[in-house]
Structure 1
């Protein structure tokens, strides 16, 4: 065995070890669907708040008390459908590969995501209670981005870039609260779709 063959074998072994230590059952197409759900939810919320005939632009007023229950319903509906879609498609992908969706790597991934997600969720509820509604979109984007960045160590490297971009959008939304719904749609919708398409193209074809 010459040196070139040895280097190739070492590279293959290293690649196998990296794959075995990462949760690869996340479906790229589920990212596309989840992003689509977020865009639909944002569109419904926008129409409910501002109507069909309103023009896109900066909003110097946010959410009134009467609209909060409906907005929470939309948010939770999108969240539940997204979680259900992601879980089902990951389960199908793992089953096709002859793997279990619940293993030490997936546990580590969810544990890495849990603290930023729970912190962001609690902070959003506090802001909602204090009627600081203009900061909720930025808060959720930032903490969601932090959770994705933490989880990327256990999954696709593209997840880190999705997390970083969501953090950037969250910080911009904090600077321009009147555009919160647009940053929300871009972060949870458009970026998810792009991420899903990239993962599907690179790893699932």
Structure 2
């Protein structure tokens, strides 16, 4: 009897330590929706580029700005959805949405993302579009792996996948668009479904 109580106490201590050091209220549904947003945005970008009279390697300024706006809207909708669903899940579980764990998660995610974003903008400003998809995947994957220390460990596997896709994409730059669709679209949906059935669905 005392042995069982001792084991229960250890489990309770472990749970409290995990909650204090890791943010575990991430929503799997937000991953699914992020993937849908990405595929929708990719379809719009594809139509914009293929209907442009110029090659995608020398896009005119108007089409280029529309594609950037499209990417921004995908990122904004994904972030807004993740914040909304994660906040709702945290409240449902009686957890704080903004504490030391969530701050560490955001900081460690943003460092590679902001660095990568700025580098990609520099490359785009030089009209070097060939490696854009690979760079997005690699830096996003690094951000996920870096942030996984402060959230659900499963996130790092998505990060590893994104990095691998980015490296393959770098070797096959002509297929960057399709690797982008797989990484940000298909993989997000698969990851979101796994997380939803593993953690969200009760």
TM-score by length of structure 1 reads 0.89
Shift of 1:81: 1.0
1:111-150 aligned at under 5 Å gives the runs 111-150=107-146
Q: Does 1:62 align with 2:57?
A: yes
Say if 1:49 and 1:63, in contact at 8 Å, map to a contact too. no
Structure 1 residues 26, 63: closer, same or farther in 2, change over 3 A?
Answer: farther
Q: Note the residue ranges of structure 2 that are not aligned, 5 or more in a row.
A: none
Shift of 1:62: 3.3
> SS of the counterpart of 1:151?
helix
Larger mean CA deviation between 1-10 and 189-198 belongs to 1-10
Say if 1:25 and 1:94, in contact at 8 Å, map to a contact too. yes
Q: Does 1:46 align with 2:85?
A: no
Structure 1 residues 65, 23: closer, same or farther in 2, change over 3 A?
Answer: same
TM-score by length of structure 2 reads 0.90
**Alignment: residue pair count:** 197
Q: What stretches of structure 1 move > 4 A for 4+ residues in a row?
A: 1-5
Distance (whole Å) between structure 2 residues aligned to residue 86 and residue 190 of structure 1: 17
Q: Note the residue ranges of structure 1 that are not aligned, 5 or more in a row.
A: 52-59
Shift of 1:12: 4.4
1:146-157 aligned at under 5 Å gives the runs 146-157=142-153
Structure 1 residues 63, 102: closer, same or farther in 2, change over 3 A?
Answer: farther
Shift of 1:63: 5.0
Shift of 1:91: 1.2
